[in-house]
A and B are shown apart, each in its own frame.
Chain A
Amino acid sequence: MKKILGPIALMVLLMSFQTAPKKAAQVTKPAVKSVVTTANPAASIERGKAVYLSQCLSCHQVDGGGVPHLNAPLDGATAVVGKDKAKIISIVLKGMTDRVEIDGEFYSNNMAPHKELTDQQIADVLTYVRNSWTNKASAVTPAEVKAVRAKIK
């Protein structure tokens, strides 16, 4: 997994320095090399973007719009920006194959579990997803992921 993430993460880091200099300056981080566990939303969002590109983008798309009737959208979705973070953490860990209504629609595809991602990676990707496109919501922390993971096992 790390292997796949590596080059893309680097790319994104490079990209983000070019495209979002303000953000990078704001958080005044020297070189983000090691995994940071402190709750720094901007840094988490940037790391989360790399996870999103390699693990989620194919289905949920660049615009977070998903695929109508097939892959649920993340942009504008009630659960994604909702207060119940445990719910979306659990979806990433366990995947989702139930035929359930999401914001009035059904989606005909299966999302595989992503439990091999670290607590940090899941926190990052969900923080990214909760703060991209039109979404705006609080960060997800590794501790929150850890708590949900413990209950699932």
Chain B
Amino acid sequence: MKKSFSVLSLALLALGFSAFTPGNKPVKNIAVNTAGAVVPDPDNAGLKLPAGFGALKVAEGLGKTRHIVVNAQGDVYAKIMGKVAEGKGILKLHDANGDGKSDETTGMGNYGGTGITIKNGYLYASSDEEVFRYKISEKGDVIDPSKAEKIITGLKKGNQHETKSITLDNAGNIYVNIGAYSNSCQELDRKPGSMGRMPCPILDSAGGIWQFKADKLNQSYGEGVRYATGLRNVVGLDWNTQLDQLFVMMHGRDDLHNLFPDLYTEKDNAELPAETMFALKKGDNAGWPYTYYDPAQHKKMVAPEYGGDGKKEGSKEYIDPIMAFPAHMAPNGLLFYTGNQFPARYKNGAFIAFHGSWNRAPLPQEGYYVVFVPFENGKPTGKWEVFANGFSGMETGVTPRSAQHRPCGLAQGPDGSLYVSDDSKGSIYRIIYNGK
């Protein structure tokens, strides 16, 4: 274990930080973390923000930092995706001197994954097949990292959309996204002209949100409820506590032109379908793979794999999104802002981290930013604005590989700061409001 940390430890030591220590030792609080002591980096950590906002990098080089959560003490927990070294599946960042920068990183967990959240005294985290929870102390520390309670097991993991995002409601339930291991349920995935399977068999065990008990061990599909179906892949999701409802961001399908060149142009490919926000109720069906949402026509359309041609409207039995965004931008994080630090108009609105597109080529890619959607009376106003930009470090010609940073996870700190993770270079940003 020590070996895998040594390079990073050395680097951190050289920078004058305390060493990277495995395990989860209690740390002394040197200073109370007041918003006043936290100042933005001179260049706002490379981000472009609305007037009055500033940003600092809490940490960087952490690996594939996916979803994040901040405990009541201001410590950041980040879930790391992919292959992880022993005890490095979840990283905890602690700011000892109150300047907003992480001074101590500790690790735990041996599984890669995306989902992480805190609720009612427990830290919840997911691998691509399971969900675990850990009791946390009054001080926000995981009491015993070796005591992972496996609450969900045996979830379907295909070679696509395999990450499991999680969120909890206030009634003891946990919601897990199980992504469809397919683009559009074709006989042969991503094969030009291949038609859709009817009914799509993937929907039995994936392509939806499943609900489980938050405190019951070893639940598999049998004990879970398919809460909502027809969702291709959801990465960003959040339980809206004000409305007491689950909101999700769906990644829309790819390749309309590449798969059906006679029906769709390259421009269609780049602009269809919308990335969509849904407010879900139990039993909802969002239509994948049978339909997709056309943002220009404001309609659900029949997918070409199921006889669609770009004009045929989809069945009304499927729910409509409550908000549509440009195609392929890959919404990976959703957070309803409940803090008081930001100006009042942000309260109860939604922040969305768009990872950035790849499936608009050869047209320019889009996304690679964090968006804000104002809500009024529990509904989005219909407008969205880029809130934090500059992650990619490029003005034009960005490609997924050339982007320096790709926003992924979002979290709110106890003081109302907004945290953003980047799973490309493993940076954690903290955005604060210092305007008047």
Q: Which residues of A contact B406 (CB under 8 A)?
A: 68
- Which residue, B161, B191, B261, has most C-beta atoms of chain A within 10 A? B191
**Selected contact of B399 from candidates A65, A97, A109, CB within 8 Å:** A65
Q: List 15 A-B contacts (CB under 8 A).
A: A57-B361, A63-B401, A65-B400, A66-B401, A68-B406, A69-B64, A70-B358, A97-B159, A99-B159, A106-B83, A109-B160, A110-B182, A111-B190, A112-B191, A112-B192
Q: Is the CB of A68 within 8 A of B362?
A: no
Chain A residues engaging chain B, CB cutoff 8 angstroms: 4, 53, 57-59, 61-63, 65-71, 73, 95, 97-99, 105-106, 108-113
Residue B424 CB within 8 A of the other chain: yes
Query: B75: CB under 8 A from chain A?
Result: no
CB–CB B424/A68 < 8 A: yes
- State whether A62 and B361 are in contact (beta carbons under 8 Å apart), knowing that A68-B401, A73-B401, A109-B160 are contacts in the complex: yes
In whole angstroms, what is the CA distance A70 to B183 when docked? Answer: 13
Q: Is the pair A69, B188 in contact by a Cβ cutoff of 8 Å?
A: no
Cβ–Cβ contact B189 & A97, under 8 A: yes
A-B interface pairs (CB < 8 A), number: 72
B contacts, CB < 8 Å to A: 64, 81-83, 159-162, 182-183, 188-192, 194, 254-255, 258, 261, 269, 358-359, 361-362, 399-402, 406, 424
Contact indicator A67/B189 (Cβ below 8 Å)? no
From B83, B188, B255, contact of A58 by CB (8 A): B255
Q: Which single residue of chain B is at the shortest CB-CB distance from A106?
A: B82
Residues of chain B within 8 A of A69, CB atoms compared: 64, 81-82
Report which of A67, A99, A112 forms a contact with B358, defined as CB distance below 8 A: A67
In the complex the two chains form, is B358's CB within 8 Å of A71's CB? Answer: yes
Q: Please state if A110 and B159 are interface contacts (CB–CB under 8 Å).
A: yes
B375 to chain A, nearest CB (A): 31
A106-B82, A108-B160, A109-B159 given; A67·B400 CB < 8 A = yes
Q: How far is the CA of A81 from the CA of B379 in the complex (A)?
A: 53
User: Which residue of chain B is the closest to A76 with respect to CB atoms?
Assistant: B401
Given A65-B400, A109-B190, 9 more pairs with CB closer than 8 A = A65-B402, A67-B401, A68-B401, A68-B424, A71-B358, A106-B83, A110-B190, A112-B190, A112-B191
Q: Which residues of A contact B83 (CB under 8 A)?
A: 106
